């Protein structure tokens, strides 16, 4: 892991509400670290926004850690090496059921969900005229799939063979792979992150390129096979020069912490994030989905008791499945 101190902009800091009852006390940690993913990906930018909002509201130093992505983040939260991990529902589900390699086949459920982040749609890009590409084109090609423990790095090696698509899959940093695609060292690149993905924006700005998702038949098959994915659409205009909706699959993202984190601190932290959405969106537009009502997009995992207190307080209806054993 690489630890980087995130320095928020003055304009972003000015937007953060400062009247919330949150600050250093006996129950508050002396510092916080946030596990994100590779530089050039949405997680890193979004994690920086969380760091700025929390640091300005609490006075507690908050650092952003460059990691291999959601699969590593959930393992590090479980091990007590990360305070906050940014994760997608795939790694959450695999940890919950013991299917993740790091779990050793045991159900690992010591994490608790804090708040919803955004939807992560899978999509690909190649250097070709728009409308002249599809996911079938990656067969036999050199395909960049992002960091090894990221959402695309973890699940594309599962999803593509399930669809009968074989390619030479090359993991790597998202920003690095954008450069490799433009330099001809990769034939295609696929990603899954909050949109717009900065690395994809970079390619679109510099080269003629073609975006692709999945066909209706492929989406139906993946939805039926994997309970943590769903049909999603990348809206027209998300990327410059792309004026049609792009059908694909996606996973929701959530911020998680260990079950041992103090409930009062979690309550105030979740309240701070939810009530400073404007500041979050200023850093990355995907934060427009960081809304309290989207906590309902979690269909299986437990919420932190401090988070539950906040959502109940503002009138969000919660399913029985979100209440952890410590609240029984």
38: pLDDT confidence band, cut at 50, 70 and 90?
Answer: confident
215: pLDDT confidence band, cut at 50, 70 and 90?
Answer: very high
Domain count, the chain: 2
Model pTM? 0.81
- pLDDT computed for residue 2 by the predictor: 55
Q: Which of 251, 276, 299 is the last residue of a domain?
A: 251
| In a shared domain, residues 112 and 260 | yes
Q: Which of 251, 271, 300 is the last residue of a domain?
A: 251
| In a shared domain, residues 10 and 35 | yes
pLDDT digits (tens, 9 = 90+) for 231-271: 999 999 999 999 999 999 999 999 999 999 999 999 999 99
| Residue 54 structural domain | 2-119+253-327
Contact status, residue 222 vs residue 231, Cβ threshold 8 Å: no
User: How does DSSP classify residue 232?
Assistant: E
| In a shared domain, residues 220 and 127 | yes
* Region class of 290: left (phi > 0), else alpha (psi between -120 and 50), else beta: beta
Q: What is the CATH number of the domain that holds 179?
A: 3.40.190.10
**Given 3-state DSSP classes, what are the helix, strand and coil percentages for the chain, each rounded to the nearest 5?**
40, 20, 40
| In a shared domain, residues 74 and 36 | yes
- pLDDT computed for residue 148 by the predictor: 85
| In a shared domain, residues 94 and 181 | no
pLDDT digits (tens, 9 = 90+) for 272-308: 999 999 999 998 888 999 999 999 999 999 999 999 9
| In a shared domain, residues 137 and 114 | no
Q: Which of 219, 251, 283 is the last residue of a domain?
A: 251
| In a shared domain, residues 225 and 272 | no
| Other beta carbons within 10 Å of 219 | 20
283 CB-near residues (< 8 Å, 6+ apart): 12, 45, 46, 48, 49, 52
pLDDT digits (tens, 9 = 90+) for 111-152: 999 999 999 999 999 999 998 999 999 999 999 999 887 889
| In a shared domain, residues 311 and 273 | yes
| In a shared domain, residues 143 and 242 | yes
| In a shared domain, residues 205 and 261 | no
| In a shared domain, residues 286 and 314 | yes
Strands 111-126, 188-192: parallel, antiparallel or unpaired by DSSP?
antiparallel
Burial category of 103 from C-beta neighbours within 10 Å (exposed 0-12, middle 13-18, buried 19 and up): middle
């Amino acid at each position: 892991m690489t630890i980087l101190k995130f320095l928020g902009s003055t304009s972003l800091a000015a937007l953060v509400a400062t009247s919330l009852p949150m600050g250093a006390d006996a129950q508050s940690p002396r510092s916080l670290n946030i596990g994100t993913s590779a530089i050039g990906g949405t997680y890193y930018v979004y994690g920086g926004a969380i760091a700025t909002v929390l640091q300005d509201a609490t006075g507690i130093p908050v650092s952003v850690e460059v990691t291999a992505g959601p699969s590593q983040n959930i393992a590090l939260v479980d091990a007590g090496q990360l305070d906050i991990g940014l994760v997608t529902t795939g790694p959450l589900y695999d940890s919950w059921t013991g299917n993740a390699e790091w779990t050793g086949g045991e159900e690992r459920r010591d994490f608790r969900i804090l708040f919803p982040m955004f939807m992560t749609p899978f999509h690909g890009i190649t250097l070709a005229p728009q409308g002249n590409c599809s996911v079938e084109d990656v067969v036999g090609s050199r395909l960049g799939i992002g960091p090894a423990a990221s959402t695309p790095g973890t699940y594309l090696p599962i999803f593509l063979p399930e669809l009968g698509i074989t390619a030479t899959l090359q993991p790597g940093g998202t920003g690095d792979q954008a450069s490799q695609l433009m330099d001809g060292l990769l034939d295609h690149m696929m990603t899954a992150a909050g949109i717009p993905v900065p690395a994809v924006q970079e390619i679109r700005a510099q080269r003629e390129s073609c975006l692709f998702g999945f066909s209706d038949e492929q989406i139906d098959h993946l939805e039926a096979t994997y309970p943590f994915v769903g049909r999603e659409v990348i809206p027209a205009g998300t990327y410059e020069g792309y004026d049609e909706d792009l059908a694909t699959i996606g996973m929701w993202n959530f911020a998680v912490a260990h079950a041992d984190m103090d409930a009062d601190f979690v309550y105030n932290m979740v309240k701070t994030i939810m009530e400073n959405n404007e500041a979050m969106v200023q850093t990355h537009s995907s934060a427009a989905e960081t809304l309290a009502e989207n906590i309902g997009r979690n269909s299986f995992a437990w919420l932190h008791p401090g988070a539950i207190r906040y959502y109940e307080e503002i009138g969000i209806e919660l399913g029985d499945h979100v209440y952890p054993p410590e609240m029984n």
